[in-house]
Amino acid sequence: MPGFPERPVLLFWEMTRACPLSCAHCRASAIPQRLPGELTTEEGRTLIDRLLDFGRPPPTLVLTGGDPLERPDLFDLIDHARGRGLHVAVSPAVSERLDARTFARFREAGVSALSISLDGGRAAVHDRVHDRVRGVPGIFDRSLEVLATALREEMRVQVNSTVMAGNAAEFARLFDLVRSRGVRTWEVFFLIRTGRGSDLSELAPSEAEDVGHFLYEASRRGVLVRPVEAPFVRRILRQRQADDAYEGGPLYRSLRGELEERLGSGVGASSLSPKGTLDGDGILFVAYDGTVYPGGFLPEPLGNVRRDDPVDLYRRSELLVRIRDRALNGACGRCPYRFDCGGSRARAFAHSHDALASDPACPLTAAPAVAA
């Protein structure tokens, strides 16, 4: 099963690390002020132009941070990218700058998608001021207001949610909220312990498996579900398509029971994709200072766009070639599902400082042998 050897599907540009929020799981350890060394406007235009060298179709440009709205040249750069024929998505922070006028500007500029973060189905979980999940009181209600405004402005909006030990039990309620608001895409990120999130607790492998199977159930209810840093969900999809029975553990049974209580038992086909990306296989990340990484959660530098060609870095990096070939170490390298899955390279690195090691979130990595 070939990956993405010639071009990434998504290129993330961390425009700045400045952000008004202080989220506990922030990969970037974002801060209130912009750091020196950010790519300039002209360097940003050059980066955008270079994306065309990947060929057709070029990668979608995802503008992230920090908060991209902290960059005064954001809309100039969006206009440049759209003028070059690129699809542009933006991942802003829920700040005072994110209002109806800003959404109208995004729409007029031709931004193809926006993402809003929700990590709980109620304020008591999402805000969690004392545990600093977001670090700002009232941010849950503000996020719902922003989401409603974006939908009124007819923006294509996805909700991004991070699942970790402290909020996994909330995800049936959260899915119900996302679905009831008319959001069509739900992106569920499985925590990587890096950046400000280094001290947070991940799910145990059995819990990650339970949540993966819950996402399969949720994906059969009319919403596009996209797991991130959880490629083992593609293995789960394959298994459930072959045999839909899964007894699961207490977390799965609780989530599935609540899901059925809220939404009933009627289901359709799964929206999960059998094929997807990994860090370095369909994904490339450019940091605020131009450093290129396989992904935003895998801090293994490949070069810098100020001196290196990102096309060459993507196609010729020994690390990325091995990731795409699934020339991995340990159980992930032997697993018959490795081309369906491949394991989270970022989580492997966070645990072992080896981007080619096995993904510790998958229970199959602890098994002496794996049968397809």
Domain total of the chain: 2
147 and 53 housed in the same domain? yes
41 and 157 housed in the same domain? yes
153 and 25 housed in the same domain? yes
pLDDT reported for residue 2: 60
Give the span between the Cα atoms of 174 and 164, in whole angstroms: 14
Measured over the CA atoms of residue 265, residue 179, residue 271 and residue 93, the dihedral's sign is: negative
Single out the residue of 292, 284, 300 nearest to residue 346, CA to CA.
300
Element (H, E) at 246: none
Cβ proximity of 284 and 59 under 8 Å: yes
Helix (H, G, I), strand (E, B) or coil at 333: helix
pLDDT reported for residue 25: 60
Domain membership flag for residue 210: yes
Task: Using the CB atoms, write b or e for 278-300: b if 16+ within 10 Å.
Answer: bbbbbbbbbbbebbbbbbbbbbb
Cβ proximity of 200 and 24 under 8 Å: yes
Please tell me whether the overall predicted TM-score, pTM, comes out greater than 0.95 for this model.
no
Give the span between the Cα atoms of 295 and 323, in whole angstroms: 12
pLDDT by 10s per residue, the chain, length 372: 567 999 999 999 999 999 877 666 665 555 778 889 999 999 999 999 999 999 999 999 999 999 999 999 999 999 999 999 999 999 999 888 888 899 999 999 999 899 999 998 887 777 663 344 445 668 888 899 999 999 988 889 999 999 999 899 999 999 999 999 999 999 999 999 876 556 778 999 999 999 999 999 999 999 999 999 999 999 999 999 999 999 999 999 999 999 999 999 888 999 999 999 999 999 999 999 999 999 999 999 999 999 999 999 999 999 999 999 999 999 999 999 999 999 999 999 999 999 999 999 999 987 554 444
pLDDT reported for residue 129: 37
Single out the residue of 197, 129, 130, 138 nearest to residue 163, CA to CA.
197
Give the span between the Cα atoms of 334 and 347, in whole angstroms: 18
| Beta-bridge partners for 228 | 189
Tell me the per-residue pLDDT of 175-207, one tens digit each, with 9 for 90 and over: 999 999 999 999 999 999 876 556 778 999 999
Please return the burial class of 253, using the count of CB atoms within 10 Å of its CB with bins 0-12, 13-18 and 19+.
middle
List all residues 6 or more positions away from 172 whose beta carbon is below 8 Å from its beta carbon: 214, 254, 255, 256, 258, 259, 262
pLDDT reported for residue 125: 78
Domain membership flag for residue 154: yes
Domain membership flag for residue 321: no
pLDDT reported for residue 3: 78
248 and 338 housed in the same domain? no
Cβ proximity of 218 and 255 under 8 Å: no
Give the span between the Cα atoms of 149 and 308, in whole angstroms: 40
List all residues 6 or more positions away from 22 whose beta carbon is below 8 Å from its beta carbon: 30, 132, 134, 135, 136, 196
Element (H, E) at 73: none
258 and 368 housed in the same domain? no
CATH classification of the domain holding 32: 3.20.20.70
Domain membership flag for residue 314: no
- Domain extent for 363: 326-372
**What rounded mean pLDDT belongs to the chain?**
91
Domain membership flag for residue 176: yes
358 and 226 housed in the same domain? no
Last residue of a domain, one of 263, 287, 303: 263
pLDDT reported for residue 371: 45
pLDDT reported for residue 31: 73
364 and 243 housed in the same domain? no
pLDDT reported for residue 57: 94
Quickly tell me which residue has 């849950």 as its tokens. Answer: 140
Please return the burial class of 352, using the count of CB atoms within 10 Å of its CB with bins 0-12, 13-18 and 19+.
middle
Last residue of a domain, one of 211, 236, 263: 263
Domain membership flag for residue 270: no
The amino acid present at 328, given as its one-letter code, is: L
pLDDT reported for residue 339: 93
Cβ proximity of 14 and 66 under 8 Å: yes
Last residue of a domain, one of 238, 263, 288: 263
| Cβ neighbour number for residue 178 with a 10 Å cutoff | 24
Outline where 84-119 has alpha helix (H).
100-109
Single out the residue of 234, 314, 308, 316 nearest to residue 281, CA to CA.
314
Domain membership flag for residue 50: yes
Domain membership flag for residue 296: no
